[in-house]
């Protein structure tokens, strides 16, 4: 078995991996920048090393990170999500230096990271994809010609894009002409590549993704699906498992297609296959070659520890279960609690956490790296907390979500929590039938007023007194 893991990440996912290591008797090594010196993952890991004065460079230097893994006696490296998690060079360097990369091979990362190559692989495997270009478009003229062939609206996408960046919807030739140089610029800055392609825009689809696990012994399974339709500007806000919108037949079909996709590329470790669902048709969108932010809700409904399985797979062990052993129970909802002000166009709200109270009770889980007194730095993603609730029924999950969001206190910064409470009260959302246009279709939900009850007021007074006293 693996004995020591370097975690090439920060924040809540690093804490999550530290906890998995602790349960498996594996030593954990954290890395951090000067800005992250007081982060919880640094405090929780068995060892921690400063890799940079700069907030970002240390997390983005694959050779430096792998060298540190070797120097500290680590036999494996977990990339988490974001940063270098889908960087083929990191996987290659790990292989060169004899460090096990907890993820797929560099070849698979490259193949799935190139969205046009991923499309070709899925077409060859018989997995349905959205209509689009065969490959990348060479220039604006070709993009306009292809868009006329495909039919508007179209999605202009960076070949190496991700996380909602390098993507624009174009409803006309004029919009495509305006968007083309912007996407090229954004893709070049964010991903180091100016390559783009076109897909037919599936209007107001449901965004459904399937979690897969694959070992080195030829076993590939799916852990059912997650519904990620509640999103803003292609950024997920609330995720649900299983989707309340699928029929049993659709659920089985999407799971089968996800397994087929993984088998087609020789996938190994944890991954997610993302689909769009519209008018009963399912279309492959992309494959994420890493653990997902929202892996938590799949764990809640299946009882399977995905990070633990990742580590076992990297150690060369077979999956600890077969497809027929996997079932789900109830519903789980994850809320990405971002340090943002929804009433001010979701402006980031970084700063010191003056008070943090985690919600609790049955069926409530929090994954976070914040604590009272921690200062959220302005250099990273604004997500400060993941709140996950589970219940036997959809209706109970909604009520538990409302209660848990009300229980939680994050003071000192503004968060998206009150906005999520309004979503949970919305009749359309509660019906379990919604699509990716939900947030844009309901701007009135941003006009909430934060209610004051005695507990809110008492905490506010206590915070003010403590601040005045310099505590």
Cβ proximity of 89 and 67 under 8 Å:
no
d(CA 115, CA 349): 33
DSSP lists the bridge partners of residue 213 as 221, 270
Rounded distance between C-alpha atoms, residue 433 and residue 48, angstroms: 46
Check: CB of residue 197 under 8 Å from CB of residue 166: no
Catalytic residue, chosen from 168, 290, 312, 365, is 290
Burial class (CB in 10 A: 0-12, 13-18, 19+), 138: exposed
- C-alpha closest to that of 101 among 216, 222, 227: 216
Ramachandran sector of residue 24 (left: φ over 0; alpha: ψ -120 to 50; beta: rest): alpha
Give the number of other Cβ atoms within 10 Å of residue 385's Cβ. 24
Beta bridge partners of 372: none
| 409 catalytic residue (yes or no) | no
For residues 431 and 239, what is the distance between their CA atoms, to the nearest angstrom? 15
Q: Which parts of 184-280 are beta strand (E)?
A: 196-200, 206-214, 220-232, 235-241, 269-278
**DSSP one-letter string for 21-47:** HHHHT-EEEEEEEGGGTT-HHHHHSSE
Alpha helices, H only, 98-231:
106-113, 115-125, 140-150, 173-191
Contact 300, 365 (CB under 8 A): yes
Could you tell me which residues are beta bridge partners of residue 32? Answer: 50
* Three-class secondary structure of residue 223 per DSSP: strand
Return the closest-CA partner of residue 229 out of 202, 257, 259.
202
Q: How many CB atoms lie within 10 A of CB 250?
A: 17
Taking the mean position of all CA atoms in its chain, how far away is CA 45?
Answer: 22
- Contact criterion met (CB below 8 Å) for 167 and 154: no
Partners of 367 in the β-ladder: 386
Neighbours of 185 (CB within 10 A): 12
Residues taking part in catalysis:
290
């Amino acid at each position: 078995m693996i004995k020591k893991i370097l975690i090439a990440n920060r924040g809540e996912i690093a804490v999550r991996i530290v906890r998995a290591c602790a349960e498996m008797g594996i030593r954990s090594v954290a890395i951090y920048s000067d800005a992250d010196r007081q982060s919880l993952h640094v405090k929780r890991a068995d060892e921690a090393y400063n890799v940079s004065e700069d907030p970002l460079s240390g997390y983005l230097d694959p050779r430096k990170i792998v060298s540190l893994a070797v120097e500290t006696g680590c036999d494996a490296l977990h990339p988490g999500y974001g940063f270098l998690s889908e960087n083929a060079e990191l996987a290659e360097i790990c292989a060169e230096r004899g460090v096990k990369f907890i993820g797929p091979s560099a070849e698979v990362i490259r193949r799935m990271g190139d969205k046009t190559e991923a499309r070709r692989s899925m077409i060859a495997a018989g997995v349905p994809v959205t209509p689009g270009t065969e490959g990348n478009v060479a220039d604006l003229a070709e993009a306009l010609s292809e868009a006329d062939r495909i039919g508007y609206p179209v999605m202009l996408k960076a070949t190496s894009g991700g996380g909602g960046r390098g993507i624009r919807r174009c409803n006309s030739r004029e919009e495509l002409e305006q968007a083309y140089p912007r996407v090229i610029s954004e893709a070049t800055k964010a991903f180091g590549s100016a390559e783009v392609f076109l897909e037919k825009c599936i209007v107001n689809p449901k965004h459904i993704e399937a979690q897969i696990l694959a070992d080195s012994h030829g076993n590939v399974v799916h852990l059912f699906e997650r519904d990620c339709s509640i999103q803003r500007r292609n950024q997920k806000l609330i995720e649900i498992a299983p989707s309340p919108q699928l029929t049993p037949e659709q659920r089985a079909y999407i799971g089968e297609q996800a397994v087929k996709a993984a088998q087609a590329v020789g996938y190994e470790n944890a991954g997610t296959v993302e689909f769009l669902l519209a008018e009963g048709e399912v279309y492959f969108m992309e494959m994420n070659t890493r653990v997902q932010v929202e892996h938590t809700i799949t764990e809640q409904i299946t009882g399977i520890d995905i990070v633990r399985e990742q580590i076992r797979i990297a150690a060369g062990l077979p999956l600890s279960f077969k497809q027929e052993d996997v079932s789900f129970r109830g519903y789980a909802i994850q809320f990405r609690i971002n340090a943002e002000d929804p009433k001010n166009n979701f402006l980031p709200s970084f700063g010191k956490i003056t008070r943090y109270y985690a919600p609790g009770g049955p069926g409530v889980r929090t994954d976070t790296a914040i604590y009272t007194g921690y200062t959220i730095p302005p250099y990273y993603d604004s997500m400060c907390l993941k709140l996950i609730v589970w219940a036997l029924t959809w209706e109970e999950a909604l009520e538990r979500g409302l209660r848990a969001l009300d229980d939680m206190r994050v003071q000192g910064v503004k968060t998206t929590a009150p906005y999520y409470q309004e979503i949970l009260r919305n009749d359309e959302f509660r019906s379990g039938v919604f699509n990716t246009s939900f947030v844009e279709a309901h701007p009135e939900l941003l006009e909430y007023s934060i209610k004051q009850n005695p507990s809110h007021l008492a905490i506010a007074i206590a915070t003010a007194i403590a601040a005045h006293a310099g505590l």
